[in-house]
Structure 1
Amino acid sequence: MTIFKFSLFDLDHKDNRRVSKILLRIFGRSTRVLLQFLFLFHLSYQFKNILEVSRKKLPFGIAQIGKAFRNEINPRNFTFRSREFEQMEVEFFVRPEEGKKWLDQWLADRLAWYQSIGIPRNKITILDVPEKDRAFYSQGTYDLLYAFPFGTEELEGIAYRTDYDLKQHQEASGKPLEYFDEETREKFIPHVVEPSAGVDRTTLALLCEAYDEEEVTDEKGAKETRVVLRFHPRMAPVKAGIFPLLKNKPELVEKARAVTQQLRQHFSVFYDESGAIGRRYRRQDEVGTPFGITIDFETLEGAKDGPLAGQKDTVTLRHRDSMKQERISIADLLPRLHSALA
């Protein structure tokens, strides 16, 4: 794939001397180093290749995720504003008369996506960018703003860029980038709707949304602060923690490791046998693990009470947010977790 890269760092600029020295050492003084600041141009450039190879019909899109760079004078607010970051963009090609319809459709889809990963709708503000603030070729732009602790800032932009980008490539290359509609026998340059979002900003929004502190009572009756990341279960890096009640009881450890092995084939899980069970719960709360699974003596000898009284091979399932615990059969663990993480 041909990649166009555009200069963001002026290698002679006094603020970038350290960067310049590293790059010049690698590439040599005769080489001009260019760092890409977005993917739009080479995504548009590949339109014809992908159209011919995949034989797609409109509407269709090309998506890419990767590193991008900005010549930020004042990086700040943790990972929100930085010189190097991860960007994800889609170039969605549509018929000219359907551009505004797809702009609104992408807005609805992106809002639904943010909600699905745990960012509530009431934390996102939609800014319909006025014409005077848009690029001259744009026929509509929405900015999605999130209420960060340091202020309401942009999370994503969705722009209706019309046929401007493809026309520019067509004129510069001298090669046609038109689309032929076999049904209507029309030939035209498609219009582009472009959602563009930063992975780093989305991750930061998830962390801000999930982080919580609450006062709880420990096993000895003392008050303490519980730090918890309330990630949506799908977004949690670890889905379940597995704990033998006591690490000096080989039968508990063996059963806990067997459960770990069973679940690890399906989810990211964490085995922990070190420290008091309450401490182990707290450690998993801090990384956002939605479920804690404890193997205790009732697992081996049979549940003492409840619907599973007398039944062996049961575990204690602890819920991160409520800290409530329930008795569940090991055989039911997998379908239960699959359902919660769907």
Structure 2
Amino acid sequence: MAKTNNDEQFKNVISHAKEYGFVFQSSEIYDGLSAVYDYGQLGAELKNNIKTYWWKSMVQMHENIVGIDSAIFMHPKVWKASGHVDGFSDPMIDNKDSNKRYRADQLLEDKITRYEKDGKTDKAAKLQADMDEALKAENLPQLKVLIEEHEIACPVSGTKNWTDVRQFNLMFSTQFGAMAEGAEEVYLRPETAQGIFVNFLNVQKSGRMKIPFGIAQIGKAFRNEVIARQFIMRMREFEQMEMQFFVRPGEEMKWFEYWKEARLKWHTALGTDPVKYKYHDHAKLAHYANAATDIEFEFPFGFKEVEGIHSRTDFDLTQHQEFSGKKMQYFDNDLNAEGKPYGNYIPYVIETSIGLDRMFLLTMIGAFEEQDLSEGEKTDSRIVLHLHPCLAPIKAAILPLTKKDGLPEKAKTIMDNLKLDYNVVYEEKDSIGKRYRRQDAIGTPFCITIDHQTLEDDTVTIRHRDSMEQQRIDIKDLEQLIANKVSWKNLLRQS
């Protein structure tokens, strides 16, 4: 494998994502829109496959979890009840020379990372502890003191001419109504969770759900992120995959531990190196939580959160009961069977929340490899995406060796049969070697080559992406061979 440093690797992944149709800058012909991205033809396929894996793991594999799709627009009181109107803010600081705005905690985190890279682990640990203490106490002046003490400069101007740290609300607002004068201010949802909470009773009663049970959802959310950072890592429009699991009060920590383990297993089932993952317990808990852990992945720019598991207590349902005037209690008649009195209670909630875009980036980074295939004086290389076959945008490429002698017709017959079950492509342009390389670069697990022998005995050459091994098989065996590798069944058994 060609040696690259982390920065180069990340840049190469970003370049690769654009070149092969995974991710584009939004409105690129107009010079783009900061922190907003479009998913191209292969990116959309990969993204949908990640969503399918999550949905099947959550909803299909759990009898007590159902899925919904709530609206992006919600009543303004929802966000008052949830605390987002008054408390959904980030500590921001401006550089007076560049007029650029930054999150104070991210400036400090970047400094911690630099200390660690330079081997100054004691300084890194001390700054981490001081920052955590300031954040927990919501001590904004102390955050500025830390930035000044550690001589953090603006990445643009290079100066240390900072304003005070202040809070900045991250919600997008818009007008809801026919005319602005008579319109009501509403928000684009900053998270999908509240759509689950306000539908708690609707789902519970219509589905006759019994505690413990979960409600899952995949959907867009919007945050007015000030800083465009690290490609699709932090965006203004993003997608979340969230599940809220409703449990009896007092049993929340048992389920918190269960979902921590279950969610990490879901990640590693994809074949990603387990060493790349770690748990990170929150030093400062959100206002609704009594426990919180992040699953972090080692990106080229350090360990960052990919998924959060939170014990949200009964905060959300209690708040919505208070602000709406509607009872959000659950009548647990199973308690009597256990020798306990019947009881009404507001359930506690365990949340699993994963950023789909971050999972997409993680998948691309984990799969990307630049391989040196040189032998002796012969130089050769390839770029390959080692995507799990279930996630690969294209499952197989159908490649006639030449454009004549009936090979394209035979190839298209094979394609017409396979495309009923799988997303496959047909390519006849360029040499067979170049076509192999292109399919390696987009992560296609199998290349099926149709040659003159195929016309004689109905066999084809199938090439395996990772090993580059080629084998001759009967056309009638193609479907089973592909199915064994790309079957959701096999992946779900491991997750």
Q: TM-score, normalised by structure 2?
A: 0.61
Contact 1:4 1:42 in 2 (8 A): no
2:449 match: 294
Deviates more, 1:190-199 or 1:35-44: 35-44
Inter-partner Cα distance in structure 2 for 1:325 and 1:113: 31
Cα-to-partner distance string for 1:60-81 (whole Å, 9 max, x where unaligned): 1111111111121111111001
What is the CA distance between 1:222 and its match in structure 2?
4.3
Q: How many residues align?
A: 317
Inter-partner Cα distance in structure 2 for 1:101 and 1:276: 58
Aligned-partner residue type, residue 162 of structure 1:
T
Cα-to-partner distance string for 1:201-257 (whole Å, 9 max, x where unaligned): 000000000111112259xx84233011110111100000010111122x2111111
Following superposition, which runs of at least 4 residues in structure 1 exceed 3 angstroms of deviation? 4-9, 26-33
Instruction: Specify which of 307, 321, 325 is matched with residue 170 of structure 1.
Output: 321
1:81 match: 234
Instruction: Specify which of 342, 357, 367 is matched with residue 210 of structure 1.
Output: 367
Contact 2:446 2:463 in 1 (8 A): yes
Cα-to-partner distance string for 1:276-314 (whole Å, 9 max, x where unaligned): 00011011111100111001122123xxxxxxxxxx111
What is the CA distance between 1:91 and its match in structure 2?
1.1
In the alignment, does 2:310 pair up with 1:155?
A: no
What is the CA distance between 1:28 and its match in structure 2?
5.8
What is the CA distance between 1:136 and its match in structure 2?
4.2
Instruction: Specify which of 448, 472, 478 is matched with residue 327 of structure 1.
Output: 472
1:255 match: 410
Instruction: Specify which of 41, 44, 57 is matched with residue 210 of structure 2.
Output: 57
1:115 match: 268
Contact 1:75 1:81 in 2 (8 A): yes
What is the CA distance between 1:120 and its match in structure 2?
2.8
SS of the counterpart of 2:250? Answer: helix
Report which of the two has the higher share of helix.
2
Cα-to-partner distance string for 1:8-67 (whole Å, 9 max, x where unaligned): 89xxxx99xxxxxxx78x976544352210122231111111111111101111111111
Cα-to-partner distance string for 1:155-193 (whole Å, 9 max, x where unaligned): 111100111111111111222111111222222111100
Inter-partner Cα distance in structure 1 for 2:369 and 2:308: 28
2:332 match: 181
Contact 1:215 1:226 in 2 (8 A): yes
Inter-partner Cα distance in structure 2 for 1:42 and 1:276: 52
SS of the counterpart of 2:229? Answer: coil
| CA RMSD, Structure 1 to Structure 2 (Å) | 2.5
Contact 1:119 1:205 in 2 (8 A): no
Inter-partner Cα distance in structure 2 for 1:274 and 1:280: 8
Instruction: Specify which of 383, 386, 390 is matched with residue 227 of structure 1.
Output: 383
Contact 2:311 2:351 in 1 (8 A): yes
Instruction: Specify which of 427, 431, 452 is matched with residue 276 of structure 1.
Output: 431
1:66 match: 219
Instruction: Specify which of 182, 200, 205 is matched with residue 47 of structure 1.
Output: 200
Q: 1:226/1:338 Cα in 2 relative to 1: closer, same or farther (>3 Å)?
A: same
Contact 1:4 1:41 in 2 (8 A): no
Q: 1:322/1:4 Cα in 2 relative to 1: closer, same or farther (>3 Å)?
A: farther
Contact 2:449 2:460 in 1 (8 A): yes
- Percent of aligned positions that are identical: 44
Which runs of structure 2 are paired with 1:95-114 in the superposition (5 Å)? 95-114=248-267
Contact 2:192 2:220 in 1 (8 A): no
Q: Which fold has the larger relative contact order, with Cα–Cα distance below 8 Å and residues 6 or more apart in sequence?
A: 2
Contact 1:148 1:208 in 2 (8 A): yes
Q: TM-score, normalised by structure 1?
A: 0.86
Contact 1:118 1:206 in 2 (8 A): no
2:481 match: 336
Inter-partner Cα distance in structure 2 for 1:314 and 1:100: 57
